[in-house]
Amino acid sequence: MKRNGKHKSMAQIYKRGSTWTARITKRVNHELVQTSKGGFKTKVEARLWATEQEALMLKGVDIANDPTFVQFFDEWYHTFKEKSVTSSTKKRYITHGRIISEYFQNAKLKDIKRTDYQRFLNWFGESHAPGTVHKLDTMVRDCVSSAIADGLISMDFTAKTIIVGDDSRTRHVEYLNLDEIKRLISLCYDNRQPRYTSPYMIITAIYTGMRLGEISALNWSDIDYSSKQISITKSWNQDRREMSQPKTESSIRTVPVNSWLLELINELKMNDCDFVFGNPLTGFPPTSQAINQALRRFLKQDNMEKRDFHFHSLRHSHVAFLLNNGVDIYAISQRLGHANIAITLKVYAYLLDDQKQKEDDKIITSLDILNK
Q: Going residue by residue through the chain, which has 372 residues, state the pLDDT in tens, using 9 for 90 and above.
A: 344 444 455 678 888 888 988 887 766 555 666 777 888 889 888 888 788 777 766 655 554 568 899 999 999 998 899 887 777 788 899 999 999 999 999 999 989 999 999 999 999 999 999 989 999 999 999 999 999 988 888 889 999 999 999 887 776 667 888 899 999 999 999 999 999 999 999 999 999 999 999 999 999 999 999 999 999 999 998 767 888 888 778 899 999 999 999 999 999 999 999 999 999 999 999 998 999 999 999 999 988 888 778 999 999 999 989 888 888 889 999 999 988 888 787 777 767 666 667 777 778 888 888 876
Domain boundaries, the chain: 7-58, 69-169, 178-318
Phi, psi of 196 (to 5 degrees): -110, 105
Residue 349's pLDDT is: 72
How far is Cα 81 from Cα 142, in angstroms, rounded to an integer? Answer: 11
Dihedrals phi, psi of 195, to nearest 5 degrees:
-75, -15
C-alpha to C-alpha distance for 177 and 185, rounded to whole angstroms: 12
Which pLDDT value is given to residue 60?
Answer: 56
Cβ count near 10 (within 10 Å): 12
Give yes or no on whether 69-169 and 178-318 have one common fold.
Answer: no
How many whole angstroms separate alpha carbon 76 and alpha carbon 94?
12
pTM of the model as a whole: 0.64
pLDDT at position 345, please? 79
Q: What per-residue string of b and e applies to 315-333 under the rule 16 or more CB within 10 Å gives b?
A: bbbbbbbbbeeeeebeebb
The set of residues, in sequence order, having a beta carbon less than 8 Å from that of 214 and lying 6+ positions away, is: 232, 234, 235, 246, 251
* Residue 166: per-residue pLDDT: 87
Overall fold of domain 69-169: DNA polymerase; domain 1 (1.10.150)
How many angstroms separate the CA atoms of 303 and 297, rounded? Answer: 10
> Can you name the CATH fold of 178-318?
hpI Integrase; Chain A (1.10.443)
C-alpha 290/C-alpha 286 separation (Å) is 6
